[in-house]
Chains A and B, each alone.
Chain A
Amino acid sequence: MAAKGLSRAEEVYHDRTRRVKELQAEGKKVVGYPCVYVPVELLAALDLVPYRICGEMREPVTEADRVLPASFCPIMRSCLDCALKGKHHFLDGFVAVHASDPQEKTARIWQSYTTLPYFHFIDMPGTIRPEAVEYFASQLKGLATTLESLSGKKLSTESLNRAIDSYNQQRSLVQSLFQLTRPSPPLITGCEIVKVIKAVMSLPVDEGNQLLAQVIEEVKERKQKPSAKRARLLLWGSTTDDVDVMSVLEADANVVFSEDCAGYRPYRGKVATAGDKLMALADHYLSEITCARTFIQNIAAPTKKDYQRDLESRYGYLKSIIADWKIDGVVLLLVRYCDPFAFEVPAVKDYFANLGVPATYIEYDYTTGSLAPMRTRVEAFLETID
């Protein structure tokens, strides 16, 4: 009998390409994307299978050294390294987005050293001003045009609406998944969530939704619950998509909320279903995804900005998480050289300090060798909040 729920998530987590390769064998085209800012709705609407490209912590970076400096986002280095080693050769295409400087630079290098039949780079503005949203929508129109050529299909309003509905359903399901961590002890562990989300990002949307629904049902009904540990932690950072990292954080604590690009962040809110759909997608992806890459501020007057109001406009969404998930402490976990998030560290720490929640900043280099020092840092942090 085919695996379901958490077993299925575990299976997909450990063999991420299996299902998409099966679909390829059935004639589907699979398009890789390295970042949650790629509007996967457009791919799905054209019957393409989106596949999230992730780094591999256990794979030493060797090939990427030929083309990227060492002092560079280790996740993008790892992704490119895998590509140069042929691990993504099965893809029919690749879509990158100007979500950060490392991604923009890596995309150009990627395009130069690999021979995928399809490649598209989406330019993305840095602000959420109306003219920036309009420009982003025009970039999405360009993406739709090239995807139409790849798929050999025309993008119809109906198919885009269906794709938006499916992904909105996925967002709702992930939001429900995270409700399962609100009780104490949580009904699902942070490690299990990493596996589920990564599996969902490796499957077509409907299969991902089915998996999420199964997991939610299974977790609610299962007898063996996770145990309550020393503290309930919020993880805030760029991307934590490896269960080994989460295991370090959860060795002595419950990570009950992961505010990162392999956690809750890509699933916040919903794409508006009324009005122009490209504008709706542009607005959603620019405004709802809380990655540090987008510039947000709150000013009091043309010559004045109030720091506290500014913090509230940038991190206000974290306040209810702290309260509703009864967070005891926050781990700001970043890979080294992640500039957009690294610039945020003192400010977000100020915000957590204002809320009276202890926070610690941990930096690692996306290798298994960095896990031991990380463990020491986490243990030390837990001692401070006991």
Chain B
Amino acid sequence: MTTSEKKRVINRVKAMYPLRAKVDESYQRSQEAIKAGKPTVWAMLNFCYGDPILKAMDIEVVYPENYGAALAAAGVAREYLDRSDAEGFPTHLCGYSRANFGYAARLVELGGQPPPEAPMGGMPRPLFLLSSVAVCDARYKWFQALGRYLDVPVWTLESPLPGIREFQLEGCYEEMVKLSIKHLREFVSFVEQAVGRKTDWDRLDEIVNLMMEINRVSHEVNELRKAKPCPMHSRDFWSAMSPALFLLGDLKESLQLYRNLYDEVAERVKNGISAIPEEKYRLVFAELPPWHSLDLFDRLAERGWNFVIESFGYHPPPPVDLSHVSDPLERIARYSLQRMVANYKDALQKNVVAGADVYIYLKYVSEWKCDGAFLHPLVSCRSASTHLPHLANILMERLKVPSLIVEGDIVDLRLFNPQDALARAEPFEEAMEHYRKLRREAGFDW
């Protein structure tokens, strides 16, 4: 059966499509922006830390991480990966970065014009690069390494991340906030110099409020997914997440689209409509999906596997009331920090000291009532993989929930074998059944 003949099994949420369309629109807009002389910036996913400032300054932002995924999904990453190898970058580096090095080398070769073969018109030459130390080393070392191809400055956003126990020390959180506010203020100055105009603080204030509201609604959508059967599959989450995660396009429009998404998902919950024909197993997915092989989820849906929650790093932080904070930079700082530290207290209470990214999956599995975890360690992404063996151990030890570990890669599709994953589905179903019994015997409620 060819890909086009494969049956689509997942019952996609209709309100997701306009949100997904905003990704393509953002590339289109950045192309138009550069033609109109509007500044464009390449940025790392910065968890709503630098994005609102760029947005307030009317700067178009493209995300090479996303573009790496887009290259993979379009099946054209190979050429850029090969070019990166030829440029001398070690082959074990982040697949997104390697694709981007190859792309940047081509960009230079073509005098700054996006390569004609690049999907969605490519990424235009940036005014500057915005990297982030959050999550992994690659996300700032990569942009530093781009200096070989792009003579533009890099601003590296700090992202404090103390240990769960150390966070409890007196003054720790306030020092994180202090760093973040000072740092953002310096970043604002940098951006103002780069674009040659002053920040519109009222606009920034409005953007920050919209950003928080969009993410709050997105959070509420995910809360609805606790319902049985789960009304919205992980694929819809991944398709709909970008406008909230990256503040794409018009934020008022995004807010309305997320409200529409909420309404449709709520309606499904009310009517007992599932995201797949027959929900036999509820699963959590960690962390980054195989963008190039998403059909796998349809095949698993045929078997009754419903992916009900996923990818912690892409999720909005738990809502927090910051209405008393008048400085928009302080609101950004506290909101951004919330993503990691919101769960620190609970994690410590439950003695999960391995980080928020491990604790959160315990929470997901127990609150979304998952029967199994599909863990996807990536050969070229250590930060999204390192905690997975420990996560598998702790899910089994604390919750008697088994994990299926399927290795792959975010960009290099040769490193992922969907057939192998499917071949392992049946024995894993036996494991899920077995542990379902054990959980019930042990007094768990799922």
Q: Which residues of A approach B to under 8 Å, CB–CB?
A: 65-69, 71-73, 98, 100-102, 104-109, 111-112, 119-123, 125-127, 129, 131-132, 134-135, 138-139, 141-142, 145-146, 292-293, 295, 297, 299, 302-307, 310, 334, 336-337, 339-340, 342-347, 349-350, 361, 363
Is A304 in contact with B151, judged by CB distance below 8 angstroms? yes
Q: Which 3 A-B pairs have the closest CB atoms?
A: A126-B133, A121-B163, A343-B141
Q: Which residues of B, 24-44, contact A by the 8 Å Cβ criterion?
A: none
Measured in the bound complex, the distance between the Cα atoms of B137 and A73 in whole Å is 12
Q: Mark B120-164, 1 if CB is under 8 A from A, else 0.
A: 000000011001010011101110110110011110101111110
- Give every chain A residue within 8 A of B393 (Cβ-Cβ): 66-67
Q: Say whether B354 faces chain A, with CB atoms less than 8 Å apart.
A: yes
Interface string of B287-324 (1 = CB under 8 A from A): 00000000000000000000000000000000000000
Query: Is the pair A135, B160 in contact by a Cβ cutoff of 8 Å?
Result: yes
Task: Determine the distance from Cα of A302 to Cα of B195 in the docked complex, in whole angstroms.
Answer: 9
Instruction: Please name all residues of chain B whose beta carbon is closer than 8 Å to the beta carbon of A104 when the two chains form the complex.
Output: 161
A112-B353, A345-B88, A345-B90 as given contacts; A68 in contact with B137, CB under 8 Å: no
Tell me the complex Cα distance, A363–B88, Å: 12
Bound together, the chains give a CA A349 to CA B97 distance in angstroms of: 19
Which segment of B166-174, B212-220, B249-257, B420-428 sits at the interface? B166-174
B43, chain A: closest CB distance, angstroms: 15
Give min CB distance, A132 to chain B, whole Å: 6
The residues of B that contact A108 with a CB separation of less than 8 Å are 163, 353-355, 358, 387
Q: Determine whether B8 belongs to the interface, using a CB cutoff of 8 Å to chain A.
A: no
Give the distance in Å from the alpha carbon of A178 to the alpha carbon of B92 in the complex. 33
Does B379 sit at the interface, judged by CB under 8 A? yes
Contact B389 A67 (CB under 8 A): yes
Instruction: From A135, A142, A146, give the contact of B158 (CB < 8 A).
Output: A135
Point out the residue from B93, B137, B147 that lies within 8 Å of A307, measured CB to CB: B147
B92 touches A346 (CB 8 A): no
Separation of A340 and B143 alpha carbons in the complex (Å)? 12
Q: Does B388 contact A (CB under 8 A)?
A: yes
Question: Chain A residues with Cβ under 8 A from B166's Cβ?
Answer: 120-123, 139, 142, 146
- The residue from B152, B161, B389 contacting A123, defined by CB atoms under 8 A apart: B161
Give the shortest distance, in Å, between A34 (CB) and chain B (any CB).
15
Q: B269 in the interface, Cβ–Cβ < 8 Å? A: no
Residues of B within 8 A of A349 (CB): 88
Partner of B354, one of A112, A145, A292, A305: A112
B92 and A126: CB pair below 8 A? Answer: no
CB distance from B357 to the nearest CB of A (A): 9
Q: Which residues on A sit within 8 Å (CB–CB) of B92? A: 71, 336-337, 342
- Do B152 and A132 touch (CB < 8 A)? no
- The answer to whether A343 and B88 touch across the interface, beta carbons within 8 angstroms, is no
Q: Write the nearest CB–CB distance from B331 to chain A, whole angstroms.
A: 18
Bound together, the chains give a CA A179 to CA B183 distance in angstroms of: 40
A100 near B182 (CB under 8 angstroms)? no
- A33 → B minimal CB distance (Å): 15
Roughly how many angstroms separate A297 CA and B145 CA in the complex, as a whole number? 11
User: With a CB–CB cut-off of 8 A, which chain A residues contact B175?
Assistant: 135, 138-139
Residues in A whose Cβ lies below 8 Å from that of B90: 334, 336, 342, 345, 361, 363
